[in-house]
């Protein structure tokens, strides 16, 4: 097992390409960071990979550490004192933001990570109203949970920190995948909508679907409309730029029990997308040019 752990670290250092050599014993490799507020202080929870008990990304031991401070630098310095090792976050997989944070706190978090010279922005961002330690201590791989969940009713897809910042700075909005610790397990509950880093609301099922259709993040979709089951495959969204407007063309291959029910599918999708565009102002430059053009095959 120890040999596997050493190979794991050799692999990590091998893919960085620009990192100076540091003895393994002087590093704490962090794969998850959770941040919340408690008694007006930042509370940072980290999961550190145990190199002596690492088999693969789904089977490894981790140690959980917590520290508090009136700012993030102080909190991380306290963690450093506990660990007596350099906290290495270049291979961070997940950043968890708590609902106890306000918009100024999230601004501070963004500034902290943007100022880290050894930080990559490929890690994912999630939001929660649960206790951070419960989530970080879970054996469930958060990113894999979200990827698996993309096939079910919530239709939530992973959001990288890089994409989160890009849209935030350009449009001031963000839709962050949201998880919850309930019944002693992690659950994905949908996207939370933020504006200027201020949480506004949790999206409904229909809004989750609309958001992912507009971002072309859905290949397959299962729906039940008026007790009729629809299996939509090869769903594709094409955006055509026309002056200051963007026309949307949605192409679907629909399998249903009766051909006539394509009309109900069309109406359903058109209604939920129209509602979404009207509610979230960022999408107000979109218009539905061709609502859907698809085939309906009887089962």
- Could you read off the pLDDT of 75-88 as tens digits, one per residue? 999 998 888 778 88
- Whether 90 and 234 share a structural domain: no
End-of-domain residue from the set 203, 236, 257? 203
Largest separation between any pair of C-alpha atoms in the chain: 68
Strands 41-56 and 94-98: unpaired
SS3 for 142?
helix
- Domain extent, residue 217, equals 208-298
Q: Strand runs (DSSP E) across 243-285, as ranges?
A: 245-256
| Lowest-confidence pick of 9-23, 110-124, 170-184, 185-199 | 9-23
Picking from 250, 255, 224, the residue whose alpha carbon sits closest to that of residue 239 is: 250
- Whether 105 and 193 share a structural domain: yes
- Given a contact cutoff of 8 angstroms between Cβ atoms, the answer to whether 296 and 259 are in contact is yes
User: Cα–Cα distance between 234 and 251 in angstroms, integer?
Assistant: 8
- Could you read off the pLDDT of 265-277 as tens digits, one per residue? 778 888 888 888 8
pLDDT bin (cut points 50, 70, 90) of residue 90 is confident
- Whether 113 and 43 share a structural domain: yes
- Whether 27 and 73 share a structural domain: yes
Q: Indicate if the alpha-carbon torsion angle 273, 274, 278, 279 is positive or negative.
A: negative
pLDDT bin (cut points 50, 70, 90) of residue 11 is very low
End-of-domain residue from the set 203, 224, 252? 203
CB-count exposure of residue 139 (10 Å: 0-12, 13-18, 19+): exposed
85 membership: H or E segment, kind and range? none
Total count of domains within the chain:
2
- Whether 197 and 218 share a structural domain: no
């Amino acid at each position: 097992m120890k040999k596997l752990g050493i190979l794991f670290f050799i692999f990590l250092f091998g893919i960085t390409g620009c990192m100076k050599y540091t003895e393994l014993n002087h590093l704490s490799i962090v794969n998850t960071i959770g941040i919340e507020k408690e008694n007006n202080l930042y509370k940072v929870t980290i999961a550190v990979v145990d190199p002596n008990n690492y088999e693969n990304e789904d089977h490894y031991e981790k140690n959980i550490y917590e520290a508090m401070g009136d700012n993030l630098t102080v909190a991380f310095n306290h963690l450093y004192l506990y660990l007596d090792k350099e906290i290495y976050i270049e291979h961070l997989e997940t950043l968890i933001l708590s609902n106890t944070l306000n918009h100024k706190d999230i601004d501070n978090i963004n500034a902290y990570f943007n100022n880290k010279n050894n930080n990559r922005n490929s890690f994912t961002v999630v939001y929660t109203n649960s206790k951070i330690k419960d989530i970080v201590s879970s054996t469930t791989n958060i990113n894999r949970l979200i990827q698996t969940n993309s096939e079910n009713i919530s239709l939530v897809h992973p959001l990288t920190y890089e994409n989160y910042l890009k849209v935030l700075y350009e449009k001031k909005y963000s839709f962050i995948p949201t998880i919850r610790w309930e019944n002693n397990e992690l659950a994905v509950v949908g996207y939370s909508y933020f504006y200027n880093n201020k949480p506004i609301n949790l999206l409904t099922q229909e809004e989750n679907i609309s958001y992912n259709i507009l971002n072309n993040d859905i290949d397959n979709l299962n729906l039940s409309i008026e007790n009729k089951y629809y299996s939509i495959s090869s769903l594709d969204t094409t955006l055509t730029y026309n002056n200051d407007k963007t026309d949307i063309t949605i192409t679907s291959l629909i399998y249903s029990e009766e051909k006539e029910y394509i009309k109900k599918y069309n109406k359903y999708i058109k209604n939920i997308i129209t509602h979404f565009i009207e509610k979230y102002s960022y999408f107000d430059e979109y218009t539905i040019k061709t609502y859907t053009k698809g085939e309906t095959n009887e089962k």
